[in-house]
Amino acid sequence: MTIQTGDEVAQASGNFSIRTVLHNAGIGLALLALILFFSIFTEHFLTANNITNILTQVTINLILAVGMTFVILIGGIDLSVGSVMAFASVIAGKAITLAGLGPFEAIVLAVIAATAVGVVCGAINGTITARWSLPSFIITLGMLNIARGAALQASNAQTIYSFPLAFEDFGSAMFYGVPVVFMVALALVFIAWFILNFTVFGRLLYGIGNNEEAVRLAGHSVYRYKIAAFTICGLTAGIAAVVYMARLNISSPIAGIGFELNAIAAVIIGGTSLNGGRGSVIGTLIGAFIIGVLANGLILIGLSDFMRQMITGVVIIIAVILDYYRAKYTRR
């Protein structure tokens, strides 16, 4: 085996090839099949209102999953995003309800606070993971507890409420039936897609996931790129916090319990390999929709909560098995 440079590794695994398009088409077809199924078997699924609902319900998971894609691509995992989102929302909730602020100042302050909390938590995850080459699984599990505890401590376990009206308006605003918050999520998908495909940084992330040593030998600072990936993941948790607050007009220290698992599921169903180096954020977009459409459609069909949970689990496992075969048959 010859040692490739980071750029070569990245290009070899490049996600702009026909193969990757086929990958994504596979999951896309699965999504279409689901949509078709629910359209036939429930009368309300394919209505404008329900589509708006699905878009709203997919938004937070999609935002978290975009950040998660970066971390999983380098072969890491971030279990802390749900808790970090709650912590960010609590701090932003404190900021937005500060006495004596105009509505505009309050909102700006809240957005800054939420994203800052997310970025700091993500950077801590990344720095510790990279500095001591520790498994991100454990470090982010620690952060999951730290952020949750901090959220509860800072809020004294109380729900924070009464936000400026303009903020609520943003959370429920529609643009031709498309929730504005969903458009924020879609913009993030696009930005991530651009970064991952058309910047050296993005291609090096694939390289790190494939062969960290090769990237290092090619003279790149793996350390810095790893921190960046986790920081981006934290940032999306902060953005998700803002969306949560705008949509529900509260900050809750118990928000987002288990959200990390949904975000990871979206990424994996979307065809990104848990081992890193392979996958795309477009797949993540589709993965998030598969989860969202399932959650929505199974309620419309009238399936019990417990059956719904079981089916979601089955879908995740099937997706990973499919991924195994995809990897096998598309390998060079």
Contacting residues toward another protein, per CB under 8 A: 42, 44, 47, 49-50, 53, 56-57, 60, 148, 152, 156-162, 172, 244, 247-250, 252-257, 295-296, 299-300, 302, 305-306
Smallest separation, CB 131 to another protein (Å):
28
Please, what is the minimum distance in Å from the beta carbon of residue 37 to another protein? 16
In the complex, the smallest distance separating the C-beta of residue 181 from another protein, rounded to whole angstroms, is 11
Judged by beta carbon, residue 220 or residue 247, the one nearer another protein is: 247
Q: What DSSP line would sit under 224-265, residue for residue? A: HHHHHHHHHHHHHHHHHHHHHHHHHSEE-TTTTTTHHHHHHH
Rank residues 160 and 222 by Cβ distance to another protein and give the closer one. Answer: 160
Are the CB atoms for 296 and 39 separated by under 8 Å? no
Amino acid sitting at position 159: T
Residue 161 φ then ψ, to 5°:
-145, -175
Determine the Cα–Cα distance for residues 239 and 170; give it in Å rounded to an integer: 14
* 229/239 with CB nearer another protein: 239
Paired tokens of 242:
């803002």
Q: Which is nearer to another protein, 183 or 320 (CB)?
A: 183
Which is nearer to another protein, 29 or 310 (by Cβ)? 310
Of residues 125 and 296, the one with the C-beta less far from another protein: 296
DSSP conformation letters of 58-104: HHHHHHHHHHHHHHHHTT---TTHHHHHHHHHHHHHHHHT-TT--HH
Nearest distance, CB of residue 224 and another protein, angstroms: 35
231 residue type, one letter: T
CB of 44 to another protein, least distance (A): 5
Q: How far is the CB of 159 from another protein (least distance, A)?
A: 4
